[in-house]
């Protein structure tokens, strides 16, 4: 039997991503604080540590963002890494191979976070729909996520 109802009144099975400007503001503030703390604690000559920390932060931010926010998030993190994570502090430089690798790492981390969040949310929504009785009495339809 088909049950008709207005669109948009029920809880959404998959949460909406956070608005892109908000993600970029979090990337700006988070990168600023993270680089400042790491420079204070570990010193200003450890770009690998700063890159790893910014990549983790970019992955975390990506898990709340849309795919379209990934390039801007990676660029903001790279600006703080390049400007304040390597000597001379406060100076933007471009070493083609190194900086392209850093940008690729940050972009990949952001995209991995976003893709992983989408898969997790989709899987959870699938299980909620199945548990609601959409596939028989047992709630199992032999799909790829049934264990």
The Cα–Cα gap between 145 and 147 comes to: 6
What is the model's pLDDT at position 49? Answer: 94
The Cα–Cα gap between 133 and 147 comes to: 17
Residue 128 has pLDDT above 90, yes or no: no
pTM: 0.78
What is the model's pLDDT at position 10? Answer: 59
> What tens digit of pLDDT does each residue of 59-85 get?
999 999 999 999 999 999 999 999 998
Average confidence score pLDDT of the chain: 86
In this structure, are residues 115 and 66 in contact, taking their beta carbons and an 8 Å threshold?
no
From the list 56, 52, 64, the residue with the least C-alpha distance to 115 is 64
Share of the chain above pLDDT 90, in %: 60
Average pLDDT rounded to a whole number, residues 83-94: 87
The Cα–Cα gap between 104 and 60 comes to: 16
> What tens digit of pLDDT does each residue of 26-66 get?
999 999 999 999 999 988 788 999 999 999 999 999 999 99
Buried b (16+ CB within 10 A) or exposed e, 4-29: eeeeeeeeeeeeebeeeeebbebbbe
From the list 118, 42, 27, 15, the residue with the least C-alpha distance to 75 is 27
Q: Band of the pLDDT at 137, cuts 50, 70, 90? A: very low
From the list 68, 59, 63, 76, the residue with the least C-alpha distance to 24 is 76
Structure token digits, residue 80: 């703080």
The Cα–Cα gap between 75 and 54 comes to: 11
In this structure, are residues 18 and 64 in contact, taking their beta carbons and an 8 Å threshold?
yes
In this structure, are residues 27 and 63 in contact, taking their beta carbons and an 8 Å threshold?
no
């Amino acid at each position: 039997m088909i049950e008709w109802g207005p669109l948009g009144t029920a809880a959404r099975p998959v949460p909406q991503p956070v608005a892109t400007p908000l993600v970029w503001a979090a990337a700006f503030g988070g990168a600023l604080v993270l680089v400042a703390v790491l420079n204070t604690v570990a010193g200003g000559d450890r770009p690998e540590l700063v890159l790893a920390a910014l990549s983790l932060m970019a992955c975390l931010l990506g898990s709340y963002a849309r795919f379209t926010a990934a390039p801007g998030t990676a660029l903001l993190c790279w600006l703080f890494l390049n400007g304040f994570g390597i000597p001379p502090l406060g100076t933007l430089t471009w070493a083609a191979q190194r900086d392209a690798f850093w940008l690729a790492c940050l972009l990949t981390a952001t995209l991995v976070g976003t893709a992983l969040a989408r898969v997790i949310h989709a899987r959870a929504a699938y299980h909620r729909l199945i548990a609601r009785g959409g596939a028989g009495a047992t709630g199992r339809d032999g799909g790829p996520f049934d264990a």
